[in-house]
Chains A and B, each alone.
Chain A
Amino acid sequence: MTAYDYWSIVQGSFTTVGVSLIGILLGVPLGLGLALLRWARIPFIRQVCYLYVSIVRSCPAVTLILLIYFGLPQFGLSLDPLAAALIALSLTAAAFSCEIWRSSLLAFDRQQYDAALAFGMPAWLRVWRIVLPQVWQSSLPGLVNEMTMLIKSSPAIAVIGLVEITRAAQRVGARTYDPLPPLMFGMCLYLVIIFVLVRAQRRLERKPAGQEVRV
């Protein structure tokens, strides 16, 4: 393996992190929207949200990406691989983060919401000023965990030709006829990325409770 081979795998890690990061940045607000829709208990929409979350959560990343990349052009929507990968990852992130948001919404003390109602706050202000700041705190560790899950499922984007860590490593291996060193190097890159995220998650979880008492 030459220095250039190592560099190409490191470049792959930029794709891995970049695509996962954009996926989560797009997916988390979407998931919050879905969770709020379910929380609002609107009859029909609620079932639709549930169905969406249930199907996407059970769908393998590879299958979803193939569906989007090869299936959408049948409706006249031609996508380049990067866009298809981003759509697929953010759809997954939306479904998973919806569950995270929902569990912290369920843990949320509804009395505070009612108190805000008594003060005459409009609905959006109640969500923005009362619900979100608290729910955000309690779901942050789960969301970081979701980011590691997304990075672990990101090699699926290799099937539509994007060069991320796993594919870059495999390409180097196919060229040098010695697949072990590049794969081990790729593994080390993943270890570093995910180790950083797990550390961040532990720090967030350790954050002392009681901040919400501040009046």
Chain B
Amino acid sequence: MSPDDFVIVWQQYPAIWAGFLNTVTLLVFAGSTSLVLGIVLVPMLMSKKAVIHRSIGFYCECMRCVPFLLLVYLIYFGLPTFGIQLSNWVAGFIALIIYNSAYMAIILRAAWRDIPNETIEAGKAFGLHGSKLLIRIVMPLMLMRSTPVIGNQMTQILKDSAFLGIIAVSELTAVMNAIQATHFIPFASFLSAVLLYWLICLVIEFVTLIFIRYAEVRRA
């Protein structure tokens, strides 16, 4: 291993850039979609009807107990049994979204339970109820309180996306694996991948920090 290895790796920057963009696309698209789905699922998790919160709760617990790669296999290799054939990209996106919506819902539920009862009762006293109470009082508080944990989950989505290389989605790890296989420079190429992932994580942390600041200002 010599420093020249890194030069060889970075001479492939069009491929690396493409893989990097794919990873970021997976992260942004799957992350935002699962956050939205999580927001939709939370009222069902907190529903008073046992059938609804039991079934959604069961789905969330299942996702919590299953490794991501197994879900990817179930969707990519298992669904064709029922005649549903998905391309690797679609399967990857669906797996990321199904898996992480459950986590988002669990995170948001914890934040909802943390909201002091007085605030919600004050909202009711002002005549808000049903969806209006949810949108005006519960949702903003819930989202602001759970910002740091949502940021953490985004990191988790980024890390999960590396598994998609196994079903031939050309994300960062898969691209680096291809480079390492062609030029026999595994250490330099995977270390570059690790550093690029770190870079993305730092950006996620930075964005989360901005949201946390905003939340602190709003609460003051």
Q: A33 in the interface, Cβ–Cβ < 8 Å?
A: no
- Cβ B187 vs Cβ A71 within 8 A: yes
Kindly specify which of A117-125, A134-142, A153-161 makes contact with the partner chain.
A153-161
Q: B20 in the interface, Cβ–Cβ < 8 Å?
A: no
Residues of A within 8 A of B159 (CB): 58-61, 153
Total count of chain A residues near the partner, CB < 8 A: 43
Q: How far is the CA of A173 from the CA of B78 in the complex (A)?
A: 9
| A46-58 interface bits toward B, Cβ cutoff 8 Å, 1 = contact, 0 = none | 0000000011011
Residues of B within 8 A of A180 (CB): 74, 78, 81
Tell me which of A60, A63, A152 has the highest count of chain B C-beta atoms within 10 A of its own C-beta. A60
Q: A195 in the interface, Cβ–Cβ < 8 Å?
A: yes
Residues of A within 8 A of B39 (CB): none
Residues of A within 8 A of B81 (CB): 178-180
Q: B94 in the interface, Cβ–Cβ < 8 Å?
A: no
- Cβ B74 vs Cβ A187 within 8 A: yes
Q: How far is the CA of A158 from the CA of B67 in the complex (A)?
A: 13
Classify the secondary structure of A's interface with B: helix
Task: Assess A67 versus B67: contact at CB under 8 Å? Given A58-B155, A60-B162, A75-B1.
Answer: no
| B30-66 interface bits toward A, Cβ cutoff 8 Å, 1 = contact, 0 = none | 0000000000000000000000000000000010111
The chain A residue with its CB closest to the CB of B1 is: A74
Q: How far is the CA of A40 from the CA of B39 in the complex (A)?
A: 42
Give A85-141 interface residues, CB cut-off 8 Å to B.
none
Residues of A within 8 A of B163 (CB): 60, 62, 155-156
A-B contacts, 26 listed (Cβ < 8 Å): A54-B201, A57-B155, A58-B159, A60-B158, A60-B161, A61-B159, A62-B163, A62-B165, A63-B194, A66-B180, A67-B194, A71-B186, A71-B187, A73-B186, A74-B186, A75-B187, A155-B68, A156-B163, A165-B70, A166-B67, A169-B73, A173-B73, A178-B81, A183-B73, A191-B62, A194-B64
B: residues with CB less than 8 A from A are: 1, 62, 64-70, 73-74, 77-78, 81, 155, 158-163, 165-166, 172-173, 176-177, 180, 185-187, 190-191, 193-195, 197-198, 200-202
Q: Which 10 A-B pairs have the closest CB atoms?
A: A60-B162, A58-B201, A71-B187, A70-B186, A67-B190, A155-B69, A74-B1, A179-B77, A194-B65, A60-B159
